[in-house]
Structure 1
């Protein structure tokens, strides 16, 4: 069935890894072992095959050390943190990112979450992501400059 959302653990991860690494400027480069570890620690790790789009999300209790995740952990007692959402260029405009977000929002609600958090690059800018998150009701709650020189805007959405 086309555009079916599936658990990443059931998909071929080589194309998922290639999709991630094609967008390392917006997210970060991963090795296969790191991707597998992230999937294992995520409370939401789903995508649309064949590597059209995917989303990884962690709960506040995750053993995850991303500085962006830690920023939220220091400020929010309970949250679902979207680490990365990536849609391949050829799959954009099909509603896949929105479908993944809505699926994740439902999953988060079922687990008792009321706050979903993420970050969007401010420098280098990511205007497409800014517009997407604004349409979904995310609000700016902070800013940080990371060790790699990126400046990010922290966003939350109340479910």
Structure 2
């Protein structure tokens, strides 16, 4: 399996402040970041692409070799040998319903497939609920593979995986 190499069209530190604004406008669905943490995440990412430099939408993913300290990533590391983990995807409210998330996911699937990675994983909040994300992931062919209660019960997530074949 080849590693996924990032390309010049990807998000990087030059885009981080723009991407950070969109991320932090949606902390209920993802989690809050500061600039240093976002740059660290971008440095670890095997895939980090956005629309309008991350102002309209972005997707950040890490492969199974990333040194990421995160309970959801750790769950997937214990369950699977090889995967690409979608850490976060955010689409601005004004751009929803235009197929942008689908476009980013399909691009990620193609990039992962080229490297021989055949499993894409992610988590979706069930507490607080995120029904639009559940519906989207099921429509994209993901299957629920687990669940976890995090942060002393403050958050519950469902774990999803998609095999690319």
Shorter-normalised TM range: over 0.9
> Alpha-carbon deviation of 1:12?
2.8
**Are the counterparts in 2 of residues 11 and 49 from structure 1 also a CA contact under 8 Å?**
no
Alignment of 1:72-87 (within 5 A): 72-87=76-91
The alignment partner of 2:41 has SS state of: helix
> Alpha-carbon deviation of 1:111?
1.3
Q: Name the residue aligned to 2:28.
A: 25
Q: Name the residue aligned to 2:3.
A: none
Q: Can you give the 5+ residue segments of structure 2 that lack an aligned partner in the other structure?
A: 1-8
The alignment covers a number of residue pairs equal to 155
**RMSD, matched Cα:** 1.4
> Alpha-carbon deviation of 1:33?
1.0
Runs of 4 or more, structure 1, over 6 Å off, are none
Q: Name the residue aligned to 1:153.
A: 158
Q: Please give the per-residue CA displacement for 1:110-155, whole angstroms capped at 9, x wherever unaligned.
A: 1111110000001110000001001000000000001151000000
Q: Name the residue aligned to 1:43.
A: 46
TM-score (normalised: structure 1): 0.93
TM-score (normalised: structure 2): 0.90
